[in-house]
């Protein structure tokens, strides 16, 4: 199939997982979702990643995000691997892990890039909106573990911009100023942002984050 691109409706599928069988579109059920793939069970980088997501599960929950992993091994091996993850990472699996032994979902989503490996699934991340459309895709090579803090940061931006029609600048963190999109006229902006904004250039208008409550992540780190 053609490469899955931003804005595309993500393919539906049925699968066996560590938490029982699912139909993917029904499992999303109007929520945001993150699907992330793994090259193989019982591999070191994958083990650390699954432990990291288990540790960060409350952060995904707070954002209304359902998380689900995928690895190209049978379900019994997933259950055995889960014990290793809990013991070595200190966090047990608390989200479903798809068994894709026949690589049907891997191929459906284009998780194998032949110029990188003919057989090995990339560390692909798919952020999917409640409309079941792809909002973000990141592909890492098998040797590079993912930065889940960056994935959460990107989700914060995606959810904010979807709700308020703003854009986020480079290195933005939750709670920091955002940018009024150029398609919004000053007249329209005055209605949407009655508190005003700072104009650096006619195309670069900076405004406090809409709906902000509490301190930003950066302020929490640097009080």
Domain of 23, CATH number, reads 3.40.30.10
What average pLDDT does the segment 29-37 reach? 95
Catalytic residues: 46
What average pLDDT does the segment 72-76 reach? 87
Q: How far apart are CA 46 and CA 65, in angstroms?
A: 21
Q: How many domains does the chain have?
A: 2
H or E segment at 3? none
Q: What domain range includes position 55?
A: 14-147
Q: Is residue 112 part of a domain?
A: yes
Rounded to a whole number, what is the largest CA-CA distance in the chain? 60
Q: How far apart are CA 82 and CA 62, in angstroms?
A: 24
Select from 112, 147, 182 the last residue of a domain: 147
Do 39 and 72 lie in one domain? The reply is yes
With residues binned 3-state (H G I as helix, E B as strand, rest as coil), the percentages for the chain, rounded to 5, are: 35, 25, 45
pLDDT tens for residues 91-109?
A: 999 999 999 988 899 989 9
Do 133 and 48 lie in one domain? The reply is yes
pLDDT tens for residues 164-221?
A: 989 999 999 999 999 999 999 999 999 999 999 999 999 999 999 998 644 444 443 4
Instruction: Output the pLDDT for position 127.
Output: 98
H or E segment at 71? strand 65-71
Q: Which residues, listed in sequence order, are joined to residue 67 by a DSSP beta bridge?
A: 34
Do 81 and 189 lie in one domain? The reply is no
Q: Is residue 133 part of a domain?
A: yes
CA atoms within a 13 Å half-sphere pointing along the CA-CB vector of 116: 16
Do 94 and 201 lie in one domain? The reply is no
H or E segment at 100? none
Q: Is residue 7 part of a domain?
A: no
Do 61 and 135 lie in one domain? The reply is yes
Do 42 and 125 lie in one domain? The reply is yes
Res. 27: pLDDT tops 60: yes
Q: How far apart are CA 211 and CA 188, in angstroms?
A: 18
Select from 147, 174, 192 the last residue of a domain: 147
Q: Is residue 158 part of a domain?
A: no
Query: Rounded to 5 degrees, what are φ and ψ at 60?
Result: -65, -45
**Where does residue 7 rank: exposed (0-12), middle (13-18), buried (19+ CB within 10 A)?**
exposed
């Amino acid at each position: 199939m053609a490469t899955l691109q931003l804005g595309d409706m993500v393919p539906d599928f049925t699968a066996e997982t560590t938490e029982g069988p699912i139909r993917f579109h029904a499992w999303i059920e109007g929520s945001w979702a993150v699907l992330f793939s793994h090259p193989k069970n019982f591999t070191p980088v994958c083990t650390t990643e699954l432990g990291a997501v288990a540790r960060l599960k409350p952060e995904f929950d707070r954002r209304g995000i359902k998380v689900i992993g995928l690895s190209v091994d049978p379900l019994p091996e997933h259950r055995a691997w889960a014990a290793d993850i809990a013991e070595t990472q200190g966090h047990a699996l608390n989200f479903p892990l798809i068994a894709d032994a026949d690589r049907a979902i891997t191929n459906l989503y284009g998780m194998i890039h032949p110029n990188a490996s003919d057989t090995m699934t990339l560390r692909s991340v798919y952020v999917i909106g409640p409309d079941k459309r792809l909002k973000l895709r990141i592909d890492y090579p098998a040797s590079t573990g993912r930065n889940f803090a960056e994935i959460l940061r990107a989700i914060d931006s995606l959810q904010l911009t979807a709700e308020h029609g703003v854009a986020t600048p480079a290195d933005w963190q939750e709670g920091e100023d955002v940018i009024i999109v150029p398609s919004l006229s000053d007249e329209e902006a005055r209605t949407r942002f009655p508190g005003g904004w700072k104009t650096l250039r006619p195309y670069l208008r900076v405004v406090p984050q809409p709906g902000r409550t509490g301190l930003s992540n950066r302020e929490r780190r640097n009080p």
